Structure 1
């Protein structure tokens, strides 16, 4: 920068641009696969397969699931966040963590627990029950983070004009939660589209369960590919809808001075109902899954803790989790660097390609990799490399978002100062920027690790022969109605996921304050 205005914008390193472009092209492989399969099928055949009663039934189930579940998650997430962050609720710090805890329980483990409690569970309302209890924290966490950082000045001004607490909430607070609600609703919707295990266990048909059935009956069948194309279409529609809902809105405090602390509203006679509501929600979403996992673990006795089966599954899960987390973090660096240090249309387009692919269900990404590997590189089929590559595409945004925040807190002027002291550009980056970005990179890697530990569909389709992760071994045993044998694997997944869920909650709070 010069004293008189902006200096000449520096060009990004060619190697970084090349890597980012290659990563973007790699990210678009699943989308290209779906488009190519649709074109190869031909319009007449594709239309016959898409516009048929079975697809109409799946469409009705999926839309009904989204239309009922997403509003419930928004109400529970925002309501819980408001009670925790803006009222004088006793024990609000404990409730803040308790409401995020259900994310540590994979949805298919939640389904396993509820089927243990009520074996007759099936159909749309059972799907809504399990999906709501599994995914409402995806709305709660960003809503709580936003509420904890909102400037109370607007609320105080509205109250001084005579508005009561409820009118202040609906007119002032709720509009400022639009970004959190839109983002959370998108995440819930995408999870509903991609979830397989939870709905298969209660015999509720969705696009993902139908695609898996088609894959098992007819490998790479045309009918399955057309279902995948419809599913991808819905994912893109949801992304567009969330973008339009979010718009260009930003809610930030402008002006000098220190932001005031929000006054916690007294609940009065609603205090006991509020406590009971949060206790009931926590018991249903976290207590019941944990209870039945522990119950089956105790019922199975020492025999279910077979080291020759459990230990390899744990080690392979940890191995894939660490390898996927490291690979995803490395791949995310060029994108994050361009997005922060060289902002512009080019970097935004490259970044968007990753979000489009990550929104696709794991089964679509896996089918794309299976087909491409068999046709173009048979030696890669059912290899660790291919599975880790799928993890990278599925979880890249988790690392990318954290790296962007970390790089934004490491000003490039520090690099320039190091270079002025005689350090080469690469050495300056490694010694200064990389060290400052390390905590954010570690946070992103932890979130990727959490996703990989609980991933099921891509692992089922892509893992090498003989691979048994905690998720796949749990699924194999629970599918055989060996609920006691599956319990240790479920328990270990919860134990591994719990600290990562807490980290996600803390990271969201920090991000809201930036």
Structure 2
């Protein structure tokens, strides 16, 4: 219901002038222009993120490349860097990058970890026996990986690609900074250019429809999964010797770190140490830090609790009801933050006035926006844990709730915690909805950064950006340790094509 609330508001506002008006906006030249720009960027970013994320995960998990424990947290760091901060830094270095190229570069760097981390974890956990069989039948290393291993990591790969695609649809900060017009930029312009919100809500509905199509396609592509729980342990993958390719591979990972981490953070340095535009307000910084951690932490905890039953249902049931619930949860993630914020402003004023102007609505907005992140992580973790353990527990007399608490959740705990870390980071960086719903006197780090940027206080803005990155880095490191650790149970997932 929380995820569907902004969608219901958007539908009602988008159709309040009749269906004829709605279809006129949908078929307009402006909508077609925004759609072309958005889909071009989405396809380019998703393709690049999948290739780079999968390639980097393979190098770190399956080869003898140097310093894998150093590269993994570095390559996860873009999750902690807001896209608008990265865009600002890139434009500081390369002003001519504005437009499609800059938007593609920033969003690809931001999205690659969404594929890298789950694929890396899946590669470490995957049973190597099928790949050895393929090699014994004459397949080369690349062919065996493409035909066997990719099938084993299909579920996390698809989940990461879907989240990346939805992130591109929903992003406002990077494209606004790069002056590239997508659906979200068009929605913002429509909201601010006129008191008539119909056009903005119609564009939001188009965005939701596209997101639901992607989510449905990902759900169908997942197909059926078969869980390996054998009498023996799964075969651990042998380390691939890179030989002469080791140096080029090392340079490739170093270049990826430079583009996605060093350049975005480097753009802040001139403003941190090279300019003086006023003293820092330490109490203001501490207050913003406390508000950020409080709002993001509460949202992450509640999101995990809400996502758990949905993730279990999505992993264990392929019926229409389970798919409908899962798809409904993705609606909020598809809506831009400004649409979710306006929906909750309307909801707060008309139905929950006691909540309006307080932190509850901010947390509610975060849940609506980022619930799919937790659902995707929970679903993948539950699917990997295998139903056999639950069946054994039930055969020994445990009821459904006891089995979930004592068997299912502990087995899936690493994936669930990874989802919580991603939600926390996303909430800490969120700007548009927070801007609309912020309680008086309770600014977050993102809001303070935006406020100081608006009045050209770039030194203060840079410090808030740096602190925000540090706050987001901590759960990102925890996330890296989760996906890089030893699996909780000897369970492996072999994905099979739908029959």
TM-score class normalised by the smaller sequence: 0.7 to 0.9
2:335 to 351, 357, 360: 360
CA contact (8 A) 1:415 1:433 kept: no
Alignment of 1:127 onto 2:103: yes
1:494 to 442, 459, 469: 469
Query: 1:331 and 1:265, CA in 2 relative to 1: closer, same or farther beyond 3 A?
Result: closer
* Aligned mates of 1:172, 1:393 — CA distance in 2: 37
- The aligned counterpart of 1:116 is 92
Query: 1:219 and 1:311, CA in 2 relative to 1: closer, same or farther beyond 3 A?
Result: farther
CA contact (8 A) 1:326 1:445 kept: yes
Q: Which moved more, 1:337-346 or 1:238-247?
A: 337-346
- TM-score, with structure 2 as normaliser: 0.85
Alignment of 1:98 onto 2:91: no
How far 1:101 sits from its partner (Å)? 1.9
Unmatched tracts of structure 2, length 5 or more: 492-499
Query: 1:145 and 1:278, CA in 2 relative to 1: closer, same or farther beyond 3 A?
Result: same
CA contact (8 A) 2:233 2:490 kept: no
How far 1:398 sits from its partner (Å)? 4.4
How far 1:172 sits from its partner (Å)? 2.4
Unmatched tracts of structure 1, length 5 or more: 1-24
Alignment of 1:260 onto 2:235: yes
Number of residue-to-residue matches in the alignment: 484
SS at match of 1:120: helix
* Aligned mates of 2:316, 2:51 — CA distance in 1: 38
- The aligned counterpart of 1:218 is 194
* Aligned mates of 1:278, 1:93 — CA distance in 2: 13
Superposition pairs of residues 149-298 of structure 1, within 5 angstroms: 149-219=125-195, 221-248=197-224, 250=225, 252-253=227-228, 255-298=230-273
**CA offsets per residue over residues 425-452 of structure 1, 9 Å max, x none?**
99x9999799969976766544432221
**CA offsets per residue over residues 338-395 of structure 1, 9 Å max, x none?**
7799998766654553344344333332232223334445554443222221112223
Query: 1:438 and 1:154, CA in 2 relative to 1: closer, same or farther beyond 3 A?
Result: closer
Superposition pairs of residues 61-100 of structure 1, within 5 angstroms: 61-100=37-76
CA contact (8 A) 1:304 1:488 kept: no
- The aligned counterpart of 2:362 is 387
- The aligned counterpart of 1:475 is 450
Compute the RMSD of aligned alpha carbons. Answer: 3.5
- The aligned counterpart of 1:12 is none
How far 1:277 sits from its partner (Å)? 0.6
Alignment of 1:28 onto 2:8: no
- TM-score, with structure 1 as normaliser: 0.83
CA contact (8 A) 1:149 1:512 kept: no
* Aligned mates of 1:169, 1:436 — CA distance in 2: 30
How far 1:169 sits from its partner (Å)? 2.4
How far 1:302 sits from its partner (Å)? 9.4
SS at match of 2:274: helix
Which gives a bigger RCO, structure 1 or 2 (Cα 8 Å, sep 6+)? 2
Q: Which moved more, 1:72-81 or 1:303-312?
A: 303-312
Return the index of the structure with the highest Cα Rg. Answer: 1
1:396 to 350, 371, 396: 371
* Aligned mates of 2:347, 2:425 — CA distance in 1: 27
CA contact (8 A) 2:60 2:68 kept: yes
